[in-house]
């Protein structure tokens, strides 16, 4: 075999002739190098086996593994602490929502068995596992818990606003005449035009009369403030209650009064005792409802009012 060598360092090209002996020597050298490399690899494998390692090498590898485990445990602890914080916030929000739900159910008149806030929601269905690529990672779970916590806070704020509106509506209804001032009584004279019992002439009757024996308790038809509690020339012993929004109720001809001017009363509270004082033909209660100073038919309020 002829090998021609060309180089700028040579004035002319040179040729080397390789005989069969040369090629055999080259093949032998390559085989020796290969065997040496394999032997070196085997030595390294045997040398660093756990059973054949030196004490220094084993200590170094154990220390490296321990450091890695400590780092992993520290990361896991930190992640668990973060999840625990999010979970605590979510549990607090859920408890708050449970309380709000129970109060709202009561305000709206729902039956307790319709919404059981103290029990987990019923769930079921066949098991359909998600593909492997859709499984949640720890960071993905933290993100979803953060988003859920923000959503719970938003819903909680909106429910609080709804509860406030319902409470205001309920309070407004409680301030409207909705309870009959006398229990188990009947009207002896209705609202409207009638023959006046004293003059015999047609006259406007601005309230309703409850026929009751003297000494019957009189109750406030709605909550409000007492603005008059004294003797009146025609109404006799009279209580007048301001319920706000320019709504006033009057309770007349009482034998005695049990409230004073400036006193706050609640709906259904006893405020006077029936009698026959003032311009009256006998024991009864004269009850009026006035809006913006104009007499209204009390029966309409009592029929349409809701507790």
| 101 belongs to a structural domain | yes
Residues 6+ apart with CB under 8 A from 203: 193, 194, 195, 196
Do residues 176 and 221 touch, judged by C-beta distance below 8 A? no
Q: How many structural domains are present in the chain?
A: 3
190 in the same domain as 170: no
| 59 belongs to a structural domain | no
* 217 against 114, higher pLDDT: 217
Run of H or E including 204: strand 202-205
Do residues 250 and 236 touch, judged by C-beta distance below 8 A? no
Nearest to 257 by CA among 234, 283, 231: 231
Both tokens assigned to 250 = 């009057």
CA distance 117 to 122: 12
221 in the same domain as 165: no
CA distance 240 to 181: 13
197 in the same domain as 102: no
| 222 belongs to a structural domain | yes
Quick one: the chain helix, strand, coil %, rounded to 5?
45, 25, 35
| 35 belongs to a structural domain | yes
Buried b / exposed e over 48-66, threshold 16 CB at 10 Å, is eeeeeeeeeeeeeeeeeee
pLDDT, tens digit, 9 for 90 and up, residues 20-63: 656 666 777 777 787 777 777 666 655 555 555 566 666 776 77
pLDDT, tens digit, 9 for 90 and up, residues 273-293: 999 999 999 999 999 999 889
Instruction: Give the highest mean pLDDT range of 14-23, 75-84, 103-112.
Output: 75-84
| 292 belongs to a structural domain | yes
152 in the same domain as 197: no
202 in the same domain as 104: no
CA distance 253 to 251: 7
Do residues 253 and 209 touch, judged by C-beta distance below 8 A? no
Instruction: Tally Cβ neighbours within 10 Å of residue 164.
Output: 10
Do residues 191 and 297 touch, judged by C-beta distance below 8 A? yes
CA distance 145 to 154: 14
- Between strands 208-211 and 217-219, the pairing is unpaired
252 in the same domain as 219: yes
Residue 57's pLDDT is what? 65
Q: Where are the alpha helices (DSSP H) in the chain?
A: 20-47, 55-107, 138-174, 298-304
232 in the same domain as 170: no
199 in the same domain as 97: no
| 16 belongs to a structural domain | yes
276 in the same domain as 192: yes
Both tokens assigned to 251 = 């309770």
CA distance 179 to 249: 12
CA distance 92 to 55: 54
Residue 34's pLDDT is what? 76
Mean pLDDT of 249-263: 96
296 in the same domain as 194: yes
108 in the same domain as 31: no
Instruction: Tally Cβ neighbours within 10 Å of residue 47.
Output: 11
Instruction: Tally Cβ neighbours within 10 Å of residue 174.
Output: 18
DSSP 108-125: TT--GGG--TTSPPP---
| 231 belongs to a structural domain | yes
- pLDDT beyond 80 at 74: no
pLDDT band, residue 229 (cuts 50/70/90): very high
CA distance 14 to 24: 23
Percent of the chain beyond pLDDT 90?
30
Return the residue matching tokens 């086996």.
49
| 64 belongs to a structural domain | no
| CATH value at residue 214 | 2.70.70.10
Range of the domain at 270: 186-304
209 in the same domain as 101: no
pTM of the model: 0.50
Both tokens assigned to 183 = 């229990």
* 33 against 4, higher pLDDT: 33
């Amino acid at each position: 075999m002829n090998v021609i060598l060309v180089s700028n360092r040579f004035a002319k090209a040179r040729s080397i002739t390789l005989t069969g002996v040369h090629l055999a020597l080259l093949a032998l050298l390559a085989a020796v190098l290969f065997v040496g490399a394999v032997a070196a690899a085997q030595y390294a494998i045997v040398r660093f086996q756990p059973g054949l390692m030196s004490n220094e090498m084993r200590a170094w590898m154990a220390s490296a593994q321990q450091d890695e485990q400590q780092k992993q445990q520290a990361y896991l602890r930190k992640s668990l602490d973060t999840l625990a914080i999010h979970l605590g916030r979510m549990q607090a929000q859920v408890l708050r929502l449970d309380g709000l739900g129970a109060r709202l159910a009561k305000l709206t008149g729902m039956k307790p068995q319709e919404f059981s806030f103290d029990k987990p929601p019923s769930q079921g269905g066949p098991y359909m596992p998600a593909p492997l690529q859709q499984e949640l990672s720890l960071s993905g779970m933290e993100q979803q818990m953060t988003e859920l916590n923000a959503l719970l806070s938003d819903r909680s704020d909106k429910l609080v606003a709804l509860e406030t509106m319902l409470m205001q509506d309920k309070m407004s209804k409680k301030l409207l005449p909705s309870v009959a001032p006398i229990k188990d009584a009947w009207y002896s004279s209705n609202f409207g035009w009638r023959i006046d019992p004293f003059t015999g002439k047609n006259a406007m009757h601005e309230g309703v009369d409850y026929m009751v024996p003297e000494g019957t308790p009189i109750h406030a038809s709605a909550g409000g403030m007492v603005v008059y509690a004294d003797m009146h020339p025609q109404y006799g012993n009279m209580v007048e209650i301001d319920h706000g929004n320019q709504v006033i109720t009057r309770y007349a001809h009482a034998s005695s009064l049990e409230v004073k001017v400036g006193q706050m009363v609640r709906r259904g509270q006893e405020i006077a005792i029936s009698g026959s004082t003032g311009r009256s033909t006998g024991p009864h209660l004269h009850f009026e409802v006035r809006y913006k100073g104009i007499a209204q038919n009390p029966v309409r309020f009592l029929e349409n009012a809701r507790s």
